[in-house]
C-alpha cells in the first residue's frame, strides 16, 4: 500500500496553503476535480473574466497579500473602492441599509428611525432573526435585513445562530446611524478590495507555485477513511497516512470516516450563479447591487465591467436555493429566463443582448451556523484530530470566512505540524 505522511484532501485555497507551508516533501494533495482552485476558480469566456461567484479580496494582513502578489508575475492587480448599493422599491440606497435609512423615501425613513429608537432590546436574542429585530427594530429588519438574508440563506432566519455571520455582519448602533446622516462613513470589512486582472484563480496559482505538480493528484476523489488503520480509500487506490488534512465539507468528512452524527444538524444553502456577458454597458459606478425584494429571483448582482473598466456589461447574479433543491439543466434554463426577466424589471438591462453566459452551482455555499452545528463541529473535530485528521477551510470548519482566513488557518496547522516534524529530526 502507498504511504504518505501528510495526505491533503482538496486543492482549493486551504489545501494548497497547507501543502505550500509544510516543511516536508512527504505529502500528496488529492483533488476530485480536473483542475485546482475549488471555489476560487475563474472562467475566461468570449473576452469575459468570471469567477465561480464574485470573489473580491480584502486582506486584514497586508503582508499575506503582498506575498501572494509577489508570486503573480506581471499580473495587474486592480485596487478598487467599493461602491455597493441596495435597490429598495424604485430607489437606490447605499449599503449597508441600516446606516443609510436617511436615503429612503420619507415615510420609510420615519418608520425605520422610529422603530430603531423604540426597539425592544431588553432580552438576550436567541437567534439571528431575533438579533435583527433587537438591534435594528422592525422597520430596518423587515425592509431589508430579513428579506435579503432569507433570500440568501434560503431558510428561516430563526434557525441561525445570533452570530451566524461573525465579523461579516455590518453592525451599527443608533449613534452610528444618526452620525452617518450628516457624514457618510460606510466603512466595512471590504471597503476597498483588490482583484487580479486574470480573476480569483490568480491567488490560487500564487499558492500553488510552492507546490510541485507531482504532489497534486487531479481527478482523484477521497471516498472513505479508516480512522483506526489510518488508511484513506480514493476512487483509485488505498493510501496510508500519518496526518490527513481535509477541506471537504465537514458533514461529508463525517460520513467518510463513519463517525456517527445527526445529519439534521447540518444544513446549508446552494447558490446558483449566472455569469452573464452583454453587448454593451449597463449601470455604471456600482460594483454590487443588493436586492431584498421577494419579487426578484436574485439577491445580489455584481458588475465585473465596472471593476475592470471594460465597455460590455459583465455580471454575476446570485440566486439562493435550499440545499435539497434540484438544479438540473432544465432548472438552469428556467432560472436563466427568470433572471433575465428580473434584470429587466430591476432596470439593469434594457434591450441589451446576452452574448455569452455560464452558470455554476455552489453546493454548499453558505452553511447554516447554528448552536447545534457549532457544538457538534467542535466535538467531532477533536475526535478526528486525535486520529491525526484535521478538518479545515470554509466548509471543513463549517463556518463563514474569507480566503485569507483559510490561508491563515491552514498555515497555522502546518506550523504546528512543522514543530512536531522538527522535534523528530
Ligand atoms: C458566494 C460566495 C462568495 C464568496 N466571496 C468571497 C470573496 O469575495 N472573498 C473571499 O475572500 N472569499 C469569498 N468566498 C469564500 C471563499 O470562496 C472560500 O473561503 C474559499 O474558496 C474556500 O476554500 P477551501 O479550499 O477551504 O474550499 P473549496 O474552495 O471548497 O475547496 C475544496 C476543494 O476540495 C475538493 N474536494 C472536496 N471533496 C473532495 C474529495 N472527497 N476528494 C478530493 N477532493 C475533494 C473540491 O473539489 C475543492 O477543489 C466566497 C464564497 C462564496 C460561497
pLDDT at position 156 over 90: yes
Cβ–Cβ < 8 Å for 168, 153: no
| Confidence label for 58 from pLDDT (cuts 50, 70 and 90) | confident
Ligand 1 proximity of 96 Cβ (cutoff 6 Å): no
Residue nearest to atom 53 of ligand 1 (CA): 365
- The whole-chain average pLDDT of the chain stands at 95
pLDDT computed for residue 53 by the predictor: 87
What is the pTM assigned to this prediction? 0.95
Q: How far apart are CA 240 and CA 229, in angstroms?
A: 8
Percent of the chain predicted with pLDDT > 70: 98
Ligand 1 proximity of 51 Cβ (cutoff 6 Å): no
Residue nearest to atom 18 of ligand 1 (CA): 403
pLDDT at position 54 over 80: yes
Identify which has the larger pLDDT, 371 or 423: 371
Mutate to test the pocket of ligand 1, among 8, 10, 14 (most ligand atoms within 8 A of CB): 10
Q: How far apart are CA 406 and CA 362, in angstroms?
A: 17
Of 24, 34, 160, nearest to 11 by C-alpha is 34
Within 8 A by CB and 6+ apart from 269, the residues are 152, 153, 154, 155, 320, 321, 322, 323, 364, 365, 366, 368
| Confidence label for 61 from pLDDT (cuts 50, 70 and 90) | very high
pLDDT in tens, 186-201: 565 567 889 999 999 9
Ligand 1 proximity of 362 Cβ (cutoff 6 Å): yes
Question: What is 2-43+53-81+197-264+369-424's CATH number?
Answer: 3.40.50.720
What the block records as the C-alpha cell of 263 is 445529519
Residue nearest to atom 1 of ligand 1 (CA): 53
Domain-by-domain residue ranges, the chain?
2-43+53-81+197-264+369-424, 87-182, 269-362
Ligand 1 proximity of 247 Cβ (cutoff 6 Å): yes
Ligand 1 proximity of 300 Cβ (cutoff 6 Å): no
Torsion sign over Cα 349, 353, 355, 357: positive
Ligand 1 proximity of 269 Cβ (cutoff 6 Å): no
pLDDT in tens, 73-113: 999 999 999 899 999 998 999 999 999 999 999 999 999 99
pLDDT computed for residue 290 by the predictor: 98
Residue nearest to atom 26 of ligand 1 (CA): 393
Ligand 1 proximity of 367 Cβ (cutoff 6 Å): no
pLDDT in tens, 332-386: 999 999 999 999 999 999 999 999 999 999 999 999 999 999 999 999 999 999 9
What the block records as the C-alpha cell of 232 is 484513506
Query: At 79, phi and psi to the nearest 5?
Result: -115, 120
Distance (Å) from CA 10 to ligand 1 centroid: 9
**Terminal Cα-to-Cα distance of the chain (whole angstroms):** 25
Ligand 1 proximity of 17 Cβ (cutoff 6 Å): no
From residue 177, alpha-carbon distances to 14, 108, 110, 189, 211 in Å are 37, 15, 13, 17, 48
The residue written with cell numbers 440606497 in the block is 93
Ligand 1 proximity of 55 Cβ (cutoff 6 Å): yes
| Confidence label for 50 from pLDDT (cuts 50, 70 and 90) | very high
269-362: CATH class: alpha beta
pLDDT in tens, 212-252: 999 999 999 999 999 999 999 999 999 999 999 999 999 99
Asked if 2-43+53-81+197-264+369-424 and 269-362 have one fold, the answer is: no
Q: Which CATH number fits domain 87-182: 1.10.3110, 1.10.3470, 1.10.287, 2.40.50?
A: 1.10.3110
Amino acid at each position: 500500500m502507498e504511504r504518505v505522511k501528510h495526505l491533503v484532501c482538496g486543492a482549493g485555497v486551504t489545501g494548497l496553503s497547507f501543502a505550500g507551508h509544510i516543511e516536508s516533501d512527504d505529502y500528496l494533495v488529492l483533488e476530485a476535480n480536473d483542475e485546482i482552485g475549488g471555489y476560487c476558480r475563474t472562467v475566461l469566456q468570449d473576452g469575459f473574466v468570471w469567477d465561480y461567484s464574485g470573489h473580491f479580496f480584502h486582506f486584514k494582513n497586508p503582508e499575506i497579500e503582498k506575498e501572494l502578489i509577489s508570486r503573480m508575475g506581471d499580473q495587474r492587480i486592480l485596487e478598487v473602492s467599493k461602491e455597493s448599493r441596495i435597490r429598495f422599491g424604485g430607489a437606490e440606497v447605499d449599503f449597508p441599509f441600516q446606516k443609510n435609512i436617511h436615503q429612503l423615501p420619507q415615510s420609510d425613513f420615519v418608520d425605520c428611525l422610529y422603530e430603531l429608537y423604540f426597539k425592544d432590546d431588553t432580552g438576550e436574542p436567541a437567534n439571528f432573526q431575533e438579533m435583527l429585530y433587537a438591534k435594528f427594530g422592525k422597520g430596518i429588519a423587515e425592509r431589508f435585513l430579513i428579506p435579503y438574508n432569507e433570500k440568501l440563506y434560503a431558510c428561516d432566519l430563526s434557525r441561525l445562530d445570533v452570530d451566524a455571520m461573525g465579523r461579516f455582519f455590518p453592525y451599527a448602533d443608533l449613534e452610528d446611524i444618526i452620525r452617518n446622516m450628516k457624514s457618510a462613513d460606510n466603512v466595512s470589512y471590504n471597503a476597498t478590495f483588490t482583484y487580479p486582472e486574470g480573476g480569483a484563480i490568480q491567488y490560487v496559482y500564487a499558492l500553488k507555485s510552492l507546490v510541485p505538480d507531482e504532489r497534486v493528484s487531479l481527478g482523484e476523489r477521497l471516498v472513505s477513511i479508516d480512522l483506526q488503520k489510518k488508511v484513506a480509500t480514493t476512487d483509485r487506490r488505498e493510501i496510508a497516512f500519518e496526518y490527513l488534512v481535509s477541506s471537504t465539507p465537514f458533514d461529508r468528512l463525517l460520513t467518510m470516516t463513519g463517525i456517527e452524527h445527526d445529519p439534521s444538524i447540518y444544513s446549508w444553502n446552494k447558490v446558483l450563479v449566472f455569469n452573464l456577458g452583454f453587448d454593451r454597458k449597463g449601470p455604471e459606478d456600482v460594483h454590487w447591487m443588493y436586492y431584498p425584494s421577494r419579487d426578484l429571483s436574485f439577491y445580489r448582482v455584481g458588475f465585473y465591467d465596472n471593476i475592470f473598466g471594460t465597455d460590455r456589461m459583465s455580471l454575476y447574479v446570485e440566486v439562493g436555493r435550499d440545499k435539497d433543491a434540484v438544479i438540473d439543466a432544465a432548472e438552469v434554463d428556467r432560472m436563466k429566463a427568470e433572471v433575465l426577466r428580473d434584470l429587466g424589471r430591476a432596470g439593469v438591462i434594457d434591450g441589451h443582448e446576452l452574448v455569452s453566459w455560464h452558470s455554476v452551482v455552489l453546493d454548499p455555499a453558505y452553511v447554516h451556523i447554528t448552536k447545534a452545528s457549532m457544538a457538534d463541529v467542535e466535538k467531532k473535530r477533536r475526535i478526528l484530530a486525535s486520529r491525526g485528521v484535521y478538518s479545515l477551510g470554509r466548509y471543513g470548519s463549517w463556518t463563514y470566512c474569507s480566503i485569507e482566513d483559510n490561508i491563515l488557518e491552514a498555515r497555522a496547522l502546518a506550523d504546528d505540524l512543522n514543530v512536531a516534524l522538527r522535534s523528530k529530526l
